[in-house]
Chain A
């Protein structure tokens, strides 16, 4: 680590800190970050939070904030542990002007649902989270943006069907789901069962205990089962180990379909050769050719304020997910500002912004993210926002997109989600909202 640079930054930070205490406090919107930069999931944490911070920095440097409202943030290390996530929540929740929480951990998100609902601040679980929180009628403050776990499952099964030549061809096929032994990993167990019944494919779901660096026995059972496809629902170190072990037992990589947390460069590069041909679902493309990434490189990394230590990771899957997450958070604040005024908003006002977060492909292009992600259409009762997915194949050095933007089967999933959210509402005596026009707290 270059010490001199650090010292210079320290001096600059002290000077800026002094100056900012002297200056009058302008409007600010605060993002508390429960990040994880150490531990088994550090690759995901540094990439995602790096991208998120890079985008917030871009808005500050290029635009001077959102309509003049500066974006600020503070990090607390969680190591992906629920207990630490809760501690950081308690530590940062009293800060003024909190826009939204983005913990990037299902376990931590679960622990926060009660707390943020009471505090009336949105909780964003992009591409993951508790599936039934898609139902905004029961979970007004929780947003599993772009892709909830059920939609992901449906997208993967639809993709396998298209490779086999139609949904009717799934009958009699055998699919093994290898999942991470965590709340995140288990979230999709019932929906895979349901889809197996619906399409008539044979299903086996095998757990890999956290963190997943030993999978010999699981892959031996897979070899015995001789499935047509293996769905890898992994996270962190589990993914490269799965790919390497698959190669050892002779299972072809192009019949392993990774889920949305098994789709990054950090998952395939350590597996080396074994990852060649591996396919994974994604909501955001990788690569740095998109205008918004170019601006991040120019304005943020050009000003030496980039968050990633390793500049080669700019445009990687996790970094781009962080950028997309930044876009969605910033646009929600912008939309809420249009209604409530260009000032520091309350959490409940930002919640209103998320419930009106509608970015069509034209708006996405205007934001410089055409091709990076498709679109989003969040409403008061649909907190996922109909995100599209695409599939990418690893060619040994980079991801290549191998499908169009695919829509999961939302209509079929909605009744299951509503059943589950209704049960939650009953258990917690929550009044189900009848419309999105309820009072917004100041």
Chain B
């Protein structure tokens, strides 16, 4: 599969313009023009899940290791940051954030070890161990939730160097910054030798070994990087969006949700992670609001909810049969059709 990073450098310059435009809009226009609802209930969770999808994409899309344990690493990140904040109040939030990602990465390495022997579906099933073990441990040992009887933690307010991020716009900007920085770092990683190793392992493991790619190191690095990103996404999810956490919020459904984001958005595409997250997170909300506005007085919310699922399920079938490589490939085809001159610049 041709990929983003196999593209030439002239692609980057055209793409850089796009990225620049998006960033300007994301920082300059949205925080000022967006309503609280848009910022707090739509964009912040969208960004957090996009980062999680970027993380899973590193592992599954680029390195070819399927994982069903993403939600566990979200939980590890959220609970690690909470406990670091609680038990080491002197640590600044950004350090908490990085350390929480580090804890998730460490646990990711442990659960990545089976990948040395297992592949494909078998590996996916073995990552379920992470999913169940983490949720069980967080529920079983009340130390993780500071002995709160309900097992729910109250996230502290976000603040860096005395500046508190309390309004929806501030929380959004915080999330956005973390997500952009980490996405750029991920891009950097994928363009390095390690990133090329990921793809070599994905495309043909034996061939990769023959040409001298260190399998153990590459696979564990993929697990570590992926878990780090997902762990930080968990912190954002818990601290910036929900502002409360319970282990049940990180169940297998959430893992599937993240996996679907990258499949629908496009494997081995960072942009695909964002488009997929938009489809899975934002689109249902949009549909739900349109449905409620048009038909809310006729059908109760349960019926509407069910019909939305049917609509979304139908769209997934339509999109994936039109383009199995995901929405991002569909997007690029559409774009190429509009601007034929651009074709050579396309990543996939």
A residues apposed to B, CB below 8 Å: 6, 9-10, 13, 17, 35-38, 42, 45-46, 74-77, 79, 81-83, 86-87, 89-91, 93-94, 106-107, 110-111, 113-115, 130, 181-184, 186-190, 207, 210, 307, 427-428
In the bound assembly, the distance between CA atoms of A77 and B249 in angstroms comes to: 17
Pair B149/A91 contact, Cβ less than 8 Å? no
Give every chain B residue within 8 A of A181 (Cβ-Cβ). Answer: 139, 248
A-B contact count (CB 8 A): 105
- With A77-B305, A187-B149 known to touch, is A37 a contact of B300 (CB < 8 Å)? yes
- With A9-B298, A76-B292, A130-B150 known to touch, is A107 a contact of B45 (CB < 8 Å)? no
Query: In the complex, which of the residues B35, B152, B297 has the most CB atoms of chain A within 10 Å of its own CB atom?
Result: B152
Pair B285/A38 contact, Cβ less than 8 Å? no
Q: Can you list, as one digit per residue, whether each of B241-259 has a CB less than 8 Å from chain A (1) or not (0)? A: 1111010110000000000
Shortest distance in angstroms between B240's beta carbon and chain A's nearest beta carbon?
A: 12
Shortest distance in angstroms between B280's beta carbon and chain A's nearest beta carbon?
A: 13
In the bound assembly, the distance between CA atoms of A227 and B243 in angstroms comes to: 40
Chain A: which residue is nearest B37 at the CB level?
A90
Which of these, B37, B45, B304, B305, contacts A83 with CB under 8 Å? B45
In the bound assembly, the distance between CA atoms of A76 and B285 in angstroms comes to: 11
In the bound assembly, the distance between CA atoms of A431 and B274 in angstroms comes to: 43
B residues apposed to A, CB below 8 Å: 35-37, 40-41, 45, 139, 149-152, 154, 241-244, 246, 248-249, 285, 288-289, 292, 295-306
20 new A-B contacts at CB < 8 Å, known A35-B301, A77-B301, A91-B289 = A10-B298, A13-B298, A17-B297, A37-B300, A37-B303, A75-B301, A77-B288, A83-B45, A90-B40, A90-B41, A91-B37, A110-B154, A115-B243, A181-B248, A182-B246, A183-B152, A183-B248, A186-B151, A187-B150, A307-B300
- With A90-B36, A90-B40, A94-B37 known to touch, is A42 a contact of B150 (CB < 8 Å)? no
In the bound assembly, the distance between CA atoms of A307 and B301 in angstroms comes to: 12
Give every chain B residue within 8 A of A86 (Cβ-Cβ). Answer: 41, 241-242
In the bound assembly, the distance between CA atoms of A190 and B151 in angstroms comes to: 12
Query: In the complex, which of the residues B37, B244, B304 has the most CB atoms of chain A within 10 Å of its own CB atom?
Result: B244
Pair B301/A76 contact, Cβ less than 8 Å? yes
Chain B: which residue is nearest A89 at the CB level?
B41
Give every chain A residue within 8 A of B295 (Cβ-Cβ). Answer: 10
Pair A10/B41 contact, Cβ less than 8 Å? no
Pair B302/A77 contact, Cβ less than 8 Å? yes
Give every chain B residue within 8 A of A114 (Cβ-Cβ). Answer: 154, 243-244
Interface SS of chain A: helix, strand, loop or mixed? helix
Chain A: which residue is nearest B44 at the CB level?
A90
Pair B246/A82 contact, Cβ less than 8 Å? yes
In the bound assembly, the distance between CA atoms of A35 and B37 in angstroms comes to: 19
Pair A111/B41 contact, Cβ less than 8 Å? no
- The 10 closest A-B CB pairs, nearest first, are A37-B302, A90-B41, A183-B150, A13-B297, A77-B301, A111-B244, A77-B305, A75-B301, A10-B298, A87-B41
In the bound assembly, the distance between CA atoms of A50 and B285 in angstroms comes to: 24
In the bound assembly, the distance between CA atoms of A181 and B139 in angstroms comes to: 9
Pair A110/B41 contact, Cβ less than 8 Å? no
Chain B: which residue is nearest A183 at the CB level?
B150
Give every chain B residue within 8 A of A9 (Cβ-Cβ). Answer: 297-298
Pair B249/A83 contact, Cβ less than 8 Å? yes
Give every chain A residue within 8 A of B152 (Cβ-Cβ). Answer: 107, 110, 183
Give every chain B residue within 8 A of A307 (Cβ-Cβ). Answer: 300
